[in-house]
Amino acid sequence: MAALEQNSDGSCNDLVNSNKNCTNSLSEEIRKQADEVKDKANTYFKNEQYNEAINFYTQAIELNPYNAPYYGNRSFAYLRTECFGYALEDASKALDLDRNYIKAYYRRASANMALGKFKLALKDFEAVVKVKPNDKDARAKYNECAKIVRMMAFQKAISSSDSESVVEKLDLENMVIEDDYNGPALENNKVTEKFVTELLDTFKNQKKLHRKFAYQILIQAKEYFSKQLTLVDIDVPKDSKFTICGDIHGQFYDLLNIFELNGLPSKDNPYLFNGDFVDRGSFSVECILSLLSLKLLYPQHFYMSRGNHESITMNQMYGFDGEVKSKYTSQMCDLFTEVFNWIPLAHCINKKIMVCHGGLFSDPAVTLDDIRKVDRNRQPPESGIMCELLWSDPQIVPGTAPSKRGVGVQFGPDVTENFLKVNNLDYIIRSHEVKDAGYEIMHNGKCITVFSAPNYCDTMKNKGAFITIKGGDLTPKYTSYEAVPHPNVKPMAYASSLFGLF
């Protein structure tokens, strides 16, 4: 490696090599001050106050930018707040400063896994194994990641050679309903109000829906969604109420609380759920089957937008894949994927409000018609309209910037204003981010975030919220609520064993 050079003022020209000389250029007082700030950050991290931890790690880095563990610690905090792009940058920076800092390899591997880049993650695990060949934990993580890479390659090979739907492989006619099953049943293969009422009660009591009925719901939902456009137009009559909910993330008992507070969905009480129905929360199966049943019962009064977690990679890491396999079958996982691929990406209410899960675009010329034309029957790509609808986030400053998540973009108030002007809209509603009050208003009131999973992952202490509007003036009203108790099943109970890295 090249020798590290220092300018006369003590600054460094080359940070690829050891940071020893640069560190020595700092006074003992500054290094001590930086460590004290880092200790404060660690305390906030231990108390699961990750945003505060990030602020103090940043202060420590500003005082001493040559300390690899500072970046490694902040990377870990970014992982906890799902800022995977920032986590990746910090882990790489830590390794630039110290190639022997093992934790940074784990952090970078974690960020890459969260972004679905398992081959890159595998390289970092391999690097750790080479340095610590006798470390059983490192070897286990390497083997687990290698297994996922092989499985993904196999799935890709299968999908390219076998385009047959799961639906065509099912033999529902001969699927036996056991004599001792006393749960809800479809009537003439149709979802009814009675069925939905019994289903919600069954799930509330931690009982299962029979797999035959679950399969039938999925098949019918896929058929319905496949006939919809990528962007669905909704007409809300002048004096009618309409409710928009954000992320639910498998928190079934909080979903029931929304219905308790705001009434069950019906023709007179329509809803739109804006993505991320599953993952993290360990009652994701109950959430998604309930929502799909409501969609089939009230197809013109109950709407669902796809979120970034309605995808294979997210489901493999964050628990939904494992939960479906535990409660039903791996074949049902594949059918869920087919259903998710067809869920619309956006909705437009009364030609004035666009609702999507993530946000806006790097291309300022995108129109609603462009969204309508998107071929959504696929896994989310890493760029383009579909990717940005699912992954983007608003920012305070004007313009666009690389996403803190590593996918999509961050977009400023000018981007929102331009999109609304181009498409003759009043404002946008999106979800995708935890907010303390369950909602946040940005960009001069033109970009609203709603997040409906309170005390997210049983750790974030945030409120959940939903938005109601009237068809006449479309003025948003916000209802916030606390989390309710749930059975003693922890979030991420079905997640990949690699998730311990996060």
Q: Which two tokens stand for residue 121?
A: 């993650």
pTM of the model: 0.93
User: Tell me: the pLDDT tens digits for 43-102?
Assistant: 999 998 999 999 999 999 999 999 999 999 999 999 999 999 999 999 999 999 999 999
Sheet holding 477-481: strands in order across?
302-304, 271-273, 241-245, 464-470, 477-481
Q: What is the CATH number of domain 1-106?
A: 1.25.40.10
Query: Which DSSP state fits 500?
Result: G
Residues with active-site annotation: 309
Q: Is 441 exposed, middle or buried (0-12, 13-18, 19+ CB in 10 A)?
A: middle
Class of domain 211-501: alpha beta
CA distance 500 to 308: 21
Mean pLDDT by 10 residues, the chain (502 residues): 33 51 84 98 95 97 97 96 95 96 94 90 94 89 90 74 84 95 97 98 98 98 98 97 98 98 98 98 98 98 98 92 97 97 98 98 98 97 97 98 96 98 98 97 98 96 98 97 98 84 63
Q: What is the DSSP string of 158-202?
A: HHHH----HHHH--GGG----TT--S---BTTB--HHHHHHHHHH
User: Tell me: the pLDDT tens digits for 197-238?
Assistant: 999 999 999 999 999 999 999 999 999 999 999 999 999 999
The residues, any chain, with a CB within 8 Å of residue 156's CB and separated by 6 or more, are none
Listed by start position, the domains of the chain span: 1-106, 211-501
